[in-house]
Structure 1
């Protein structure tokens, strides 16, 4: 099997999105070997732009193929835990806050989309079982509880209100990490 997936060393965010879209098409058609899957994801998540593009596409894709990540994807993320861990913790926070936001606006479609992202992110976090994620989750909850900490800038930048922050803290605590 040949793959057209080549990740540039300095991949741009929009390139990473396009590459991940192509990857998902090839994955669904069973056009990739196990090693091609793992190599592609590992190469993509080595940079912040690549990892961001991968997760924004993978977690939000309408395709149910993303509901249960293949072992090769998990292995690739475990091999590059730093950037992936940070983005996964932030994704669980953002999707939880957005779900509440959409619920308030009675937007059931967007609420369901945010719930899908939260479920997929939670699933990946559980499968990765990385100490970095456990530490980051504790830091996020501590920042919400005390009002200061590692995630202060992140929470402020997105303007989450108290109800959203409490929902984030509850979901992150329930991860059991």
Structure 2
């Protein structure tokens, strides 16, 4: 049976989250082939809204499916390198900083959710083969250590403090080999 799911032309962020949840639900029940998964997610990550919605839906999902991504997920992400690189790098920074934020507020449950997102993001970064990804990871690292570089404005815009920048740096260090 062919999947009835498809990605609308001008998908909104909210629609992309909902579609990602539906894709994951069908993946879990074995209703989608690897080729269908790759095509659907590839279509999703072609646009900024689609990619942002995919990462929110995929990385924060409560089910363990995203803990062991299939090769079709990697191939789909590799099909949209410019958008995917930026979002993976920024997601790594944001979820790492949010762990610190939630721990400060004594919210261990939400801190653990952010740790799960960080772990899943790290796994994707290690697993995809996208030219330029490791350079961008290094640029983020440099921005956290020197306050210079392409990701400096991003870090400043979110107002990350010294402890949060240290958490981001620590999340990056295992990726710098």
> 1:56-87 CA distances to partner (integer Å, 9 max, x unpaired)?
00000001011111110111111221111110
Where do 4+ consecutive residues of structure 1 move more than 6 Å?
none
Do 2:7 and 2:44's aligned partners in 1 also have CA atoms closer than 8 Å?
yes
Question: Cα offset for 1:116?
Answer: 0.3
Do 1:137 and 1:173's aligned partners in 2 also have CA atoms closer than 8 Å?
no
Q: Unaligned 5+ residue runs, structure 2?
A: none
Aligned to 1:102: 102
The answer to whether structure 1 residue 24 and structure 2 residue 6 are counterparts is no
> 1:17-72 CA distances to partner (integer Å, 9 max, x unpaired)?
11111101111110011111000010000010000000000000001011111110
Normalised TM-score (structure 2):
0.95
Q: Unaligned 5+ residue runs, structure 1?
A: none
More displaced stretch, 133-142 vs 114-123: 133-142
Instruction: Map residues 6-155 of structure 1 onto 2, 5 A cutoff.
Output: 6-155=6-155
Question: Cα offset for 1:11?
Answer: 1.1
SS in 1 for 2:132: helix
Do 1:35 and 1:72's aligned partners in 2 also have CA atoms closer than 8 Å?
yes
SS in 2 for 1:131: coil
Question: Cα offset for 1:130?
Answer: 2.7
Question: Cα offset for 1:158?
Answer: 1.1
Normalised TM-score (structure 1):
0.95
The answer to whether structure 1 residue 173 and structure 2 residue 173 are counterparts is yes
Matched length: 177
